[in-house]
């Protein structure tokens, strides 16, 4: 290969790559309004961002690719945990993280600051950023939903989740509500025994929890639900 041909290939590849990069950048900027749902960016969301910055939440948490890695990524926190769980963690972090070696400081946030933060996290959670971060992948949650539907007639735990209407507060895949934490997220961080104990008396393990006790279920039924929820986390990782 001659020197002239090598230079031609080099400059041709470099300039074409640059042109493609610039074109994709311009195209992305044109889509910002739609991807970020800018029409839902109200004063409460803006106020929540200011609260997020005021308390330096990025020192420990990552959001939209920016921040620390000491605590969980908050990009999809609202979808993963739900409003009630976020509020409880903000109000009483010393209780919510009592059994974790990673502690969250008590910032003594005012109720309106908490409401603003929830609004901000809800808005961020809806941003279309190509299914990122991976641990909160919507595509994987969809597979978990399919597992629930497919196994409901086979798995006693899945049948109990439907029987007790757990999805009226919790989400699973594309099903359910976002009042409480996502079931896949619970299963990834708790074992079946803990979930069974929690169902019997949520207030004992998480003071202030809004979830009612399911002490009408037998210990065996609560164990089956715990095992099913843990199995969702395993399918989510596949």
Number of domains in the chain: 2
Where residue 126 sits, what CATH number does that domain have? 1.10.760.10
Looking at the fold, whether 119 and 167 belong to one and the same domain comes out as no
CB atoms within 10 A of CB 207: 12
Residue 118 pLDDT? 96
- Using CB atoms within 10 Å of the CB of residue 89, give its burial: 0 to 12 exposed, 13 to 18 middle, 19+ buried: middle
Looking at the fold, whether 165 and 127 belong to one and the same domain comes out as no
Q: Measured over all CA atoms, what is the biggest interatomic distance in the chain, rounded to whole angstroms?
A: 82
Looking at the fold, whether 104 and 176 belong to one and the same domain comes out as no
Looking at the fold, whether 114 and 44 belong to one and the same domain comes out as yes
Instruction: Show pLDDT as tens, one digit a residue, over the chain (238 residues).
Output: 788 888 899 999 999 999 999 999 998 888 888 888 888 889 999 999 999 999 999 999 999 999 999 999 999 999 888 888 899 899 999 888 877 788 899 999 999 999 999 999 999 999 988 877 877 776 766 665 655 655 555 688 988 998 899 999 998 887 888 888 989 889 888 999 999 999 999 988 888 788 999 999 999 999 999 999 998 876 665 5
Taking only the tens place, the pLDDT of each residue in 55-94 is 999 999 999 999 999 999 999 999 888 888 899 899 999 8
Question: How would you classify the pairing of strands 62-63 and 66-67?
Answer: antiparallel
* Dihedral in degrees, nearest 10, Cα atoms 197, 203, 209, 211: 60
Rounded CA separation 63/74 (Å) = 5
Rounded CA separation 71/174 (Å) = 26
Close Cβ partners of 133 (under 8 Å, ≥ 6 residues apart): 73, 75, 76
52: DSSP letter: H
Looking at the fold, whether 120 and 202 belong to one and the same domain comes out as no
Residue 106 pLDDT? 94
Looking at the fold, whether 146 and 214 belong to one and the same domain comes out as yes
Looking at the fold, whether 115 and 48 belong to one and the same domain comes out as yes
Looking from the CA of 167 toward its CB, the CA atoms found within 13 Å total 16
User: Is 78 domain-assigned?
Assistant: yes
Predicted TM-score (pTM) of the model is 0.68
**81: three-class secondary structure by DSSP:** helix
User: Is 6 domain-assigned?
Assistant: no
* Helix or strand run (H / E) with residue 225: helix 219-237
Looking at the fold, whether 142 and 225 belong to one and the same domain comes out as yes
Looking at the fold, whether 127 and 215 belong to one and the same domain comes out as no
Domain boundary among 86, 101, 133: 133
* CA 101 to mean position of chain CA atoms: 20
* Helix or strand run (H / E) with residue 176: strand 175-176
Domain boundary among 112, 133, 154: 133
Q: Which domain holds residue 187?
A: 137-237
75: DSSP letter: T
Residue 237 pLDDT? 58
Domain boundary among 101, 133, 165: 133
Looking at the fold, whether 150 and 76 belong to one and the same domain comes out as no
Residue 44 pLDDT? 96
Residue 153 pLDDT? 56
User: Is 206 domain-assigned?
Assistant: yes
Looking at the fold, whether 230 and 141 belong to one and the same domain comes out as yes
Rounded CA separation 215/204 (Å) = 13
């Amino acid at each position: 290969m001659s020197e002239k041909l090598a230079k031609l290939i080099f400059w041709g590849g470099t300039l074409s790559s640059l042109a493609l990069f610039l074109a994709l950048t311009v195209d992305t900027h044109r889509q910002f309004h739609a991807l970020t749902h800018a029409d839902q960016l109200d004063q409460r969301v803006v106020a929540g961002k200011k609260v997020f910055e005021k308390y330096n939440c990025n020192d420990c948490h990552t959001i939209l690719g920016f921040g620390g890695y000491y605590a969980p990524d908050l990009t999809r926190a609202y979808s993963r945990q739900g409003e009630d769980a976020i509020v409880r963690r903000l109000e009483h972090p010393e209780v919510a993280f009592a059994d974790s070696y990673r502690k969250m400081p008590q910032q003594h946030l005012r109720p309106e600051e908490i409401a603003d933060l929830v609004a901000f996290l809800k808005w961020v959670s809806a941003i279309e950023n190509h299914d990122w971060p991976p641990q909160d992948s919507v595509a994987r949650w969809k597979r978990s939903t399919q597992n629930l539907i497919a196994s409901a007639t086979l798995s006693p735990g899945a049948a109990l989740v439907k029987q007790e209407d757990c999805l009226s507060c919790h989400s699973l895949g594309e099903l359910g509500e976002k009042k409480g934490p996502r079931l896949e997220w619970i299963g990834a961080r708790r074992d079946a025994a803990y979930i069974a104990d929690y169902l019997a008396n949520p207030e004992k393990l998480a003071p202030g929890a809004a979830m009612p006790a399911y002490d009408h279920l037998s210990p065996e039924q609560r164990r089956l639900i715990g095992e099913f929820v843990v199995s969702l986390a395993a399918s989510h990782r596949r």
